[in-house]
Amino acid sequence: MLPQYDWLGGWYDALDYPWERQRAPLRRALVHGVRGTVMEWGVGTGRNLPYYHASVRVTGIDASAAMLRRAAARARNARCTVALRQGDITSLPLPEDDAFDWLVASFVCCVLPDAALVRALAQVPKVLKPEGTFRFLEMGYAHNARRRCRQARGAWWARALYGVRLERDTVAFLSRTRGLRIVAVRPLDADGIYRLIEGVRTA
Ligand SMILES: C[S@@+](CC[C@H](N)C(=O)[O-])C[C@H]1O[C@@H](n2cnc3c(N)ncnc32)[C@H](O)[C@@H]1O
């Protein structure tokens, strides 16, 4: 767990405001077509909750009580059914295995330290039903050299504040995880900063 999110919880939405204004289409793309039972990792302040289809049942997990307090307000206003739980996604005490049709997360794999990401991804086949689907919204360095330079100048700040590792290759981590198969990696912007990574449980 990243301790800074405990004090960030009260400030997260305000600090993220300049970026969040552009992120609605990304969040819509993340939950597009998602139905049934969903576990959302690192639900944070509940930014994705307004976009889920009304029929969806979301279990939102986050390690930070402060982030979850903000998420609770969004959960009350969401069309979908939401249950919020405080927990560590690297060692989930699951009430039942194979419970979820989908596992969804935004900007979570890119903030976890390497060893924590390996442990978290190993949970995915345990969380999903057979042939259940995972979909991650991630950010990283742009393909475009000028954008990349600009990002590199602010990377220390993003790392210190949010734990974001722009250099993180989540696809490579997923490829090494047993019981999962990546089916699509889709850039969501022209510079390739934001991407959706989708796959299925195979075992
Ligand atoms: C960058 S924020 C993203 C929040 C939200 N998904 C969004 O799109 O705005 C990362 C979130 O992951 C949570 N987190 C980090 N490590 C975690 C862990 N090991 N278990 C559960 N949540 C964790 C943090 O508390 C934080 O809310």
Which residues, at least 6 apart from 157, have a Cβ–Cβ distance to it below 8 Å? none
From the alpha carbon of 112, which atom of ligand 1 is closest? 16
Q: What one-letter code names the amino acid at 162? A: Y
Q: Evaluate whether 84 touches 43 at the Cβ level (below 8 Å).
A: yes
Pocket lining: 52 vs ligand 1, CB cutoff 6 Å: no
Which residue has a Cα nearest atom 20 of ligand 1? Answer: 88
Considering only CA atoms, which residue is closest to atom 14 of ligand 1? 42
Lowest average pLDDT, out of 14-23, 120-129, 151-160, 190-199, goes to 14-23
pLDDT at 163: 85
Q: Which among 153, 192, 199, 146 is positioned nearest to 174, based on CA atoms?
A: 199
Distance CA 114, CA 173 (A): 9
The average confidence (pLDDT) of the chain is 92
Q: At 93, is the pLDDT very low, low, confident or very high (cuts 50, 70, 90)? A: confident
Q: Which atom of ligand 1 is nearest to the CA of 16?
A: 9
Does position 137 have pLDDT exceeding 80, yes or no? yes
Average the pLDDT over 6-19 and give the result: 78
Determine the pLDDT at residue 96. 58
Distance 43 CA to ligand 1 centre (A): 6
Domains along the chain with CATH numbers: 4-201 (3.40.50.150)
Q: Separation of 86 CA from ligand 1 center, angstroms?
A: 11
pLDDT at 194: 95
Atom of ligand 1 nearest to the CA of 105: 6
Residue 111 Cβ contacting ligand 1 at under 6 Å: yes
* Residue 1 CB less than 6 A away from ligand 1: yes
Token pair belonging to 109: 């794999």
Q: Which residue has the higher pLDDT, 157 or 142?
A: 142
The three-class DSSP label of residue 37 is strand
State residue 20's pLDDT score: 82
For residue 46, pLDDT beyond 60 = yes
Distance CA 176, CA 31 (A): 25
Q: Which atom of ligand 1 is closest in space to residue 137's alpha carbon?
A: 8
Q: Given this model, what pLDDT does residue 127 score?
A: 92
Strand 37-41 to strand 128-139: parallel, antiparallel, or no bridges (unpaired)? Answer: unpaired
- Return the SS3 of 121: helix
Q: Is the pLDDT of residue 52 over 60?
A: yes
Mutation choice for ligand 1 from 21, 38, 59, 62, CB with most ligand atoms inside 8 A: 62
Q: Is 53 exposed, middle or buried (0-12, 13-18, 19+ CB in 10 A)?
A: middle
Distance 62 CA to ligand 1 centre (A): 6
* pLDDT beyond 80 at 45: yes
Threshold 0.75, pTM exceeds = yes
Point out the least confidently predicted range of 8-12, 92-96, 116-120.
92-96
Which 3-state string (H, E, C) describes 51-117?
Answer: HCCCCCEEEEEECCHHHHHHHHHHHHHCCCEEEEEECCCCCCCCCCCCCEEEEEEECCCCCCCHHHH
